[in-house]
Structure 1
Amino acid sequence: MKEWTKERCSEEPQELQLVADGIYIQRKNIEKVQHEATEGMEAYTDWECESREITVSEYQMLESIKQINTDKAIDDYTAQLIEEGLL
């Protein structure tokens, strides 16, 4: 997994894009940016975001971590300690 870097795109990018066998580009904070016309350049729109390369397995691991409900796990563990008389 690489560090997040700033990316500019001419079209709206996908949040997750398969770019090679087992490699994704993951994007966040995707924003549409309007640029005013200047001397010699017409007005245009592009997209800015943060992106990084991530393997499919790294992405799956991060997604599984998101699925963990830490509050419920703490509550269940506390209830177990109370039942066992440790709290």
Structure 2
Amino acid sequence: MTDWKKVTGTQPERPEEIDRTSSPSTVYLRKNIEQVEKEVEGADGKIQTVTEWQYDEKEMTVEEYENMALMKSVVEENTSGIVESVTQFQKDAVIDEYTQQLIEEGLI
């Protein structure tokens, strides 16, 4: 997996945010995709305006991407259960602490 890098593309259509088709071994993740116009000097010496895409891109192997997608799916499916478990643990801890205070103060 690579770090995010700034990329310029000249493709006619807006690049996909998740590109699994350009390469059989690499998945390209893209964000902050924007179309910009740029002036360049042509072969004849005249200034021309060209349209380009600029975006941040990260590359990962197909295996890395599939593992990431699987982990994301598992987390999304289990988020409510995890939150409930943490909340119950916090409640139990508060009750235990309060009970201990009552014992120390001789009220129980």
Give the match for residue 25 of structure 2: 22
Give the root-mean-square deviation of aligned CA atoms.
Answer: 2.8
**TM, length-normalised to structure 1:** 0.69
Structure showing greater Rg: 2
Q: In the alignment, is residue 32 of structure 1 matched against residue 35 of structure 2?
A: yes
Query: Between Structure 1 and Structure 2, which shows a larger proportion of helix residues?
Result: 2
SS in 2 for 1:14: coil
Q: Alignment identity in percent?
A: 25
CA distance in 1, matches of 2:88, 2:7: 47
* Residue number in structure 2 paired with 1:58: 64
| Cα offset, 1:74, TM superposition | 2.7
In structure 1, distance between residues paired with 2:6 and 2:40: 23
For the residue of structure 2 that corresponds to 1:42, the secondary structure is: strand
For residues 32 and 10 of structure 1, the distance between their equivalents in structure 2, rounded to whole angstroms, comes to: 10
**2:85 paired with 1:76:** yes
More strand, by proportion: 1
TM-score normalised over the length of structure 2: 0.58
Aligned twin of 1:48 = 54
Number of residues of Structure 1 aligned to a counterpart in Structure 2: 85
Task: List per-residue Cα deviations over 1:22-55 (Å, max 9, x = no partner).
Answer: 3212211111112357772212211000112101
Question: With CA pairs under 8 Å and 6+ residues apart, which has the higher RCO, 1 or 2?
Answer: 1
Q: Which residue of 1 aligns with 2:101?
A: none
Unmatched segments (≥5 aa) in structure 2: 95-108
